[in-house]
Amino acid sequence: MTDEVRCWLVERTYTDRDLIVLIYATPDGERKYRKELSASMLGRTTVTAATAVDADDLEPVEDAETRERYAMEVDRVRDSHEPDEAI
């Protein structure tokens, strides 16, 4: 059984392939989970402030500046949203 880690939404971007990329990060900003959704799927999916991610699905955040930015964004989102709140 894999351990789940609560990750918080820290970034939402759009690609030229009409995809929405959601980045959820651990509170320390050290690890991230990337989720891609089509624009049509986004209309049928609730994007929440936090999500539970299998620890095996997390990737390391290599850049120190990005880790710091993600950690600050996690703090901001946690302070203003409940984990299951749509965002």
- pLDDT tens-digit profile of 30-60? 999 999 998 788 778 899 999 999 999 999 9
Does any domain span residue 85?
no
**Alpha-carbon dihedral of residues 37, 87, 80, 10, nearest 10 degrees?**
20
The mean pLDDT of 9-37, rounded to a whole number, is 94
The mean pLDDT of 73-80, rounded to a whole number, is 97
| Contact (CB, 8 A) for 11 and 49 | no
Nearest to 50 by CA among 29, 69, 14, 25: 25
**Domain residues for 40?**
4-80
**pTM over the 0.75 mark:** yes
Overall number of domains in the chain: 1
Q: 24: Cβ–Cβ under 8 A, 6 or more apart, which residues?
A: 7, 8, 9, 10, 32, 33, 35, 50, 51, 53
Residue 43 is classified by DSSP as T
Does any domain span residue 28?
yes
Does any domain span residue 54?
yes
